[in-house]
Amino acid sequence: MCSSDVCPLVGINRCVARNFGHDSVVCECNSTYCDGVGPVSLPPLGQYSTYLSSMAGSRMEPGQGQVRVNSTGAGLRLTIVPYQKYQRIKGFGGAMTDAAAINILSLSAGAQEQLLRQYFSKEGKDYKLSPSLCCLTIKHLPRRHLI
């Protein structure tokens, strides 16, 4: 079923929403299931991709829609100038802290595998690892052991 001319994509693991109250909904993952958007690619010519997150529990739910010509002249006008650059994105960063590692190690082996796949696999976020000594907060290992 399509809403607002956007059709959800099938075959994607959907979020199993868990409500913690106070408008706080998270996706629950375990050793056998975790949500994910799957590999991201450019849509076919004349179509667009969407990713929906909402307070109701939708988390990065992918969809596709058809670009339509507005014959009435009313509404939104979008002009794309592909050769004009307005900004440059160097990348996105994150940190794996000792607190995160301690929490990950408290999970079952299967849940650890699912979580790490969500971050570092092609089917997940495809994060890359690179060492950084600028923000070490390792609680249980003196810094001299890392150098």
Per-residue pLDDT of the chain (147 residues; tens, 9 = 90+): 455 555 555 556 778 888 888 877 888 888 888 887 777 788 898 898 888 888 777 778 888 899 877 667 677 777 778 888 887 777 667 777 888 889 999 999 999 998 888 888 887 777 777 766 655 555 555 555 444
pLDDT of residue 10: 52
Assess contact for 30 and 113: CB atoms under 8 A.
no
Q: State if pTM tops 0.95.
A: no
pLDDT of residue 145: 46
pLDDT of residue 39: 73
Tell me the torsion sign for CA atoms 42, 48, 53, 56: negative
DSSP structure class, residue 3 = B
CA distances from 105 to 39, 88, 124 (A): 27, 37, 20
